[in-house]
Structure 1
Amino acid sequence: MLVSRGSRVATLAACATFLLATSACGTDKPEETTAQQARLYGTDGNMLNTFPAELKDRADLVDGMKGTTPLTPLPEDFKNRLRSVDPKLTDYLYAAETYDAVAISALAAQLAGSTDPAAIARQIVGVTNGGQRCEDMATCLSLARNGQDIEYRSVSLTRAGFTDAGEPATASYATLHFDGQQINDAKTEFVGAGEENAASTKTPPKGRKQPTGAADREDGSPLVIGGLLPKTGDLALAYPPMAAAAGLAIKEINAAGGVLGDPVTWIDGDDGTSPTVAKATVASHIEAGVDVIIGAGGSGISLEVLPDVVKAGRILFSPSNTDDGLTTAEDKGLYFRTAPPDSLQGRALADVILRDGSQRIAIVARKDSYGEGLQAVVKAELEKAGITTDRLKLLTYDPPEAPSDPPVNFSDGATQIKDFGADAVLVIGFAESAQVIRALADAGVQIRH
């Protein structure tokens, strides 16, 4: 649990220091006041080893940047298994959540004894709560084939299962630090959030025991799962770990005998970090008979495609959506996520900022449900801790809708932040937020390293 932050808010005394310099003609006059330094903070969309490359020749601007991301301490065995799928992997953001989203979908289908999305959906929450605890695919699938109620625990689900709304009741966050243009793992700190008693206690439908012998085609097998992950667009820097995790889950499910007597089929798909691209992918998946769609990457994209998915009676299961609004979205029980909502991340972020004694805080967010939603949560948490409204500045920017669009122009906002005298700047965005950081430096904001 997070500790109280009110006691940590340091009272900083502001004092102007003037240096006297003697000119050539012997006249003393004060130099300009020492510039205020601002520390940078980020979130799950930009706290990645691949992010500094977005700044190109100014990648050193990220050094000293801190931020949070949903992340549990990952076992080396899991990292090694991921690298067996993608040897070039350098980040693990949402890898655990992606693996678990695919695994839970497969286990729910096995217990349902059917690939019917509605039947699978009725089992998903129950797969993570109550029943016989299991922690690897072979064991979990064996229990599910016998119709045994299970409690799945794995890399992202360690403390508690899903709530009635189909999202994690608890979460683990990591505080990350950039040093030398990469995340310094030695400085990573983990903190828990959420309440275990928020997990669902509802009894799921009784699991169906799988008949012995040949596959029963009346169950609709094979199970078909489709990807709706950000291969392109502003969130593409997070794609490699998510893709590796999905590939690993499919590989291990099928190595354990598959689902309903058949190997699970995976159909790749791009959300493009774009509603237009994502909608086209969803339509293609529906046409191809996909039962469960894993994605989208961004919360705003999921909100755009959810009506299409629900209308088609399919499941949308995201490993990385954090917008609080998705908890109560009209989904007819067909939307799930393994990523925790922003109500939990907002507390962790505010705690990190306050521990540094920041007193004048600017929060810059991309203008969408993810950015503005998390911005509002962080603001509320900071105000609860005693940061008054006059010491907070909120700004947003429009992210590019397509790769061909002009880059983000944040020059006016950067000037406002400089004039505000911020000693902390939180940037909530994806790859495009690099343009915000460049603009801050160009405006003369002294970034603390």
Structure 2
Amino acid sequence: MFVSRRSRVATLAACATILLATSACGEDKPEEASAQQVRLYGTDGNMLNSYPAELKERASLVDGMKGTTPLVPLPDDFKSRLRAVNPALTDYLYSAETYDAVVIAVLAAQLAGSTDPAAIAKQIVAVTNDGQRCEDPASCLALARNGQDIEYRGVSLTRAGFTDKGEPATASYATLTFDGQQINDGKTEFVGAGIESAASTKTPPKPKKQRPGGNTDQEPLVLGGLLPKTGDLAIAYPPMAAGAALAIKEINAASGALGKPVTWLDGDDGTNPAVAKATVAKHVTDGVSVIIGAGGSGISRAVLPDVVQAGKILFSPSNTDSSLTDVEDGGLYFRTAPPDSLQGRALADVILRDGSQKIVIVARKDSYGEGLQGTVRDELEKAGIANDRLKLLTYEPPADAKAAPVDFSGGAKQIKEFGADAVLIIGFGESAQVIRGLADAGVQIRQ
């Protein structure tokens, strides 16, 4: 006989009540039988194959953990090209978004006929809307050199272009599952979000046709990386770096932009405002027009005033904080990653599909963590989860690599006392300490 999830939960609850009084249901130790098992959930910052290594000898604790990340079904050919750049690659998180950010920035410069960031910025949204459709750097650059309006559709940007705010109008999310201490691709599901009609319809400045032989007086276009080589988000660096390197390789194989090869200057954001600000300052000195990054939303928010003051472009492949949509940016901030207003709905759906009833949302204390935490809470409440069945907790992420690891013992005790059956962990590599803390507190993690 089929039994609904709600009925099954009610039956188990009734059985637990009987246990306390009579040791029924075939168990001699009622207090152990009634212990609550907790399902773990994650987000784009920790649903990576490299994440279990953060738990070292306790890596198996992640098995069964589910989560969402902005991700389209990546073509095998794209993965192969990425692995040609980095044969050791094990994850693809934000590789497509990084690739597309670099390509879009270069195409915008070609259409603008200039390396001036202000001129490039006016073409970025237009590159993705209302022109001749093209899907690779070579064909798009050929059209742009001829002064043709283009509509770029790449690896991550497939359904619709950018909104007036400079971010994707639509997105694709993947539901991922850890199995055997790695993401089980066979269990991955994809869901779309957003609406195509939100894409911009504004008319950009007229594209400039490239003169035969190019402009010999034009300086080469220089792009600078502001990606998390170090810090809490370093686990996401390899696929992002591979995406950028692949884009530059294919752009220059197609004769570059403005008649010259495009230059890439590497740079670390450190998942740390101080490190990121130093990198931005160096890029400004070195004549970078477009900065690709930062990795974390909070880091971009910290450096954006410096970038705007210098008159440069900040173009992130991985910022998802919804509040960045309306940040004061002077028209110089863009992103290929969708805002968390879309991811929050996908996460809430994943959690609710498992029948969770008492949910704790743990987040790193920054704009990314607290922003997504609030969005998921709102979506769960809209779905009928009462406020008293939700609990929000935050933790301070380590200031730098020398800082002590996150101590989540107090939070783990609260979760155990709350009787949660689901814990969503919003964080980066450091969030593994939350899982460790739960296990140390005796919370039974469902696998």
TM-score, with length taken from structure 1:
0.95
Aligned-partner SS, 1:179: coil
Residues in 2 aligned to 1:356 and 1:21: alpha-carbon distance in whole angstroms = 28
Matched-pair contact (CA < 8 Å) for 2:173–2:346:
yes
Aligned to 2:363: 365
Residues in 2 aligned to 1:345 and 1:300: alpha-carbon distance in whole angstroms = 17
Residues in 2 aligned to 1:187 and 1:136: alpha-carbon distance in whole angstroms = 30
Residues 360-410 of structure 1: per-residue CA shift (max 9 Å, x gap): 000000000000000000000000000000000000000001000000001
Residues in 2 aligned to 1:443 and 1:302: alpha-carbon distance in whole angstroms = 35
Counterpart residue type for residue 102 of structure 1: V
Aligned to 2:282: 284
Residues in 2 aligned to 1:84 and 1:221: alpha-carbon distance in whole angstroms = 30
Aligned to 2:391: 393
Shift of 1:34: 1.9
Aligned to 2:413: 415
Residues 112-159 of structure 1: per-residue CA shift (max 9 Å, x gap): 000000000000000000010000111000000011000000100100
Matched-pair contact (CA < 8 Å) for 1:9–1:354:
no
Aligned-partner SS, 2:19: coil
Q: Note if 1:178 corresponds to 2:178.
A: yes
When residues 370 and 31 of structure 1 are mapped into structure 2, their CA distance, relative to the original with a 3 A threshold, is closer
Aligned-partner SS, 1:109: helix
Question: Which residues of 2 match residues 114-133 of structure 1 at below 5 A?
Answer: 114-133=114-133
Shift of 1:216: 3.4
When residues 148 and 446 of structure 1 are mapped into structure 2, their CA distance, relative to the original with a 3 A threshold, is same
Aligned to 2:381: 383
Residues in 1 aligned to 2:32 and 2:120: alpha-carbon distance in whole angstroms = 66
When residues 128 and 9 of structure 1 are mapped into structure 2, their CA distance, relative to the original with a 3 A threshold, is farther
Residues in 2 aligned to 1:138 and 1:59: alpha-carbon distance in whole angstroms = 43
Residues in 2 aligned to 1:18 and 1:32: alpha-carbon distance in whole angstroms = 10
Matched-pair contact (CA < 8 Å) for 2:271–2:296:
yes
Aligned to 1:83: 83
Aligned to 2:308: 310
Matched-pair contact (CA < 8 Å) for 1:110–1:144:
yes
Matched-pair contact (CA < 8 Å) for 2:214–2:258:
no
Shift of 1:29: 8.7
Aligned to 1:68: 68
Aligned to 2:260: 262
When residues 202 and 373 of structure 1 are mapped into structure 2, their CA distance, relative to the original with a 3 A threshold, is same
Q: CA RMSD in A?
A: 1.5
Residues in 1 aligned to 2:333 and 2:78: alpha-carbon distance in whole angstroms = 27
Q: Note if 1:329 corresponds to 2:327.
A: yes
Aligned to 1:18: 19
Residues 319-359 of structure 1: per-residue CA shift (max 9 Å, x gap): 00000111011100000000000000000000000000000
**Percentage of identical aligned residues:** 78
Residues in 2 aligned to 1:142 and 1:72: alpha-carbon distance in whole angstroms = 26
When residues 62 and 391 of structure 1 are mapped into structure 2, their CA distance, relative to the original with a 3 A threshold, is same
When residues 416 and 133 of structure 1 are mapped into structure 2, their CA distance, relative to the original with a 3 A threshold, is same
Residues in 2 aligned to 1:399 and 1:311: alpha-carbon distance in whole angstroms = 28
Matched-pair contact (CA < 8 Å) for 1:324–1:343:
yes
Question: Which residues of 2 match residues 416-431 of structure 1 at below 5 A?
Answer: 416-431=414-429
Aligned to 2:163: 163
Residues in 2 aligned to 1:10 and 1:206: alpha-carbon distance in whole angstroms = 59
Aligned-partner SS, 1:182: coil
Shift of 1:422: 0.4
Aligned to 1:49: 49
Aligned-partner SS, 2:224: strand
Counterpart residue type for residue 228 of structure 1: L
Counterpart residue type for residue 280 of structure 1: A
Residues in 2 aligned to 1:113 and 1:213: alpha-carbon distance in whole angstroms = 13
Shift of 1:221: 2.6
Matched-pair contact (CA < 8 Å) for 2:43–2:427:
yes
Counterpart residue type for residue 128 of structure 1: T
Aligned-partner SS, 1:183: coil
Aligned to 2:197: 197
When residues 256 and 36 of structure 1 are mapped into structure 2, their CA distance, relative to the original with a 3 A threshold, is same
Matched-pair contact (CA < 8 Å) for 1:101–1:318:
yes
Aligned to 1:109: 109
Counterpart residue type for residue 150 of structure 1: I
Structure 1: runs of 5+ lacking an equivalent: 1-7, 23-27
Counterpart residue type for residue 111 of structure 1: L
Residues in 2 aligned to 1:30 and 1:86: alpha-carbon distance in whole angstroms = 53
Aligned to 2:142: 142
When residues 130 and 31 of structure 1 are mapped into structure 2, their CA distance, relative to the original with a 3 A threshold, is closer
Shift of 1:21: 7.0
Aligned-partner SS, 1:345: helix
Structure 2: runs of 5+ lacking an equivalent: none
Matched-pair contact (CA < 8 Å) for 1:216–1:260:
no
Residues in 2 aligned to 1:46 and 1:110: alpha-carbon distance in whole angstroms = 36
Aligned to 1:212: 212
Matched-pair contact (CA < 8 Å) for 1:40–1:66:
yes
Residues in 1 aligned to 2:253 and 2:31: alpha-carbon distance in whole angstroms = 71
Residues 276-307 of structure 1: per-residue CA shift (max 9 Å, x gap): 00000000000000000000000000000000
TM-score, with length taken from structure 2:
0.95
Residues 210-256 of structure 1: per-residue CA shift (max 9 Å, x gap): 00025332xx4300000000000000000000000100000000000
Residues in 2 aligned to 1:420 and 1:147: alpha-carbon distance in whole angstroms = 62
Aligned-partner SS, 1:67: strand
Residues in 2 aligned to 1:29 and 1:112: alpha-carbon distance in whole angstroms = 73
- What count of residue pairs does the alignment treat as equivalent? 435
Aligned to 2:241: 243
Aligned-partner SS, 2:311: coil
Residues in 2 aligned to 1:120 and 1:29: alpha-carbon distance in whole angstroms = 69
Bigger drift between 205-214 and 177-186 goes to 205-214
Aligned-partner SS, 1:289: coil
Equivalent residue in structure 2 for 1:442, among 434, 440, 443? 440
Shift of 1:444: 1.0
Counterpart residue type for residue 405 of structure 1: A
Aligned-partner SS, 1:48: coil
Residues in 1 aligned to 2:23 and 2:52: alpha-carbon distance in whole angstroms = 39
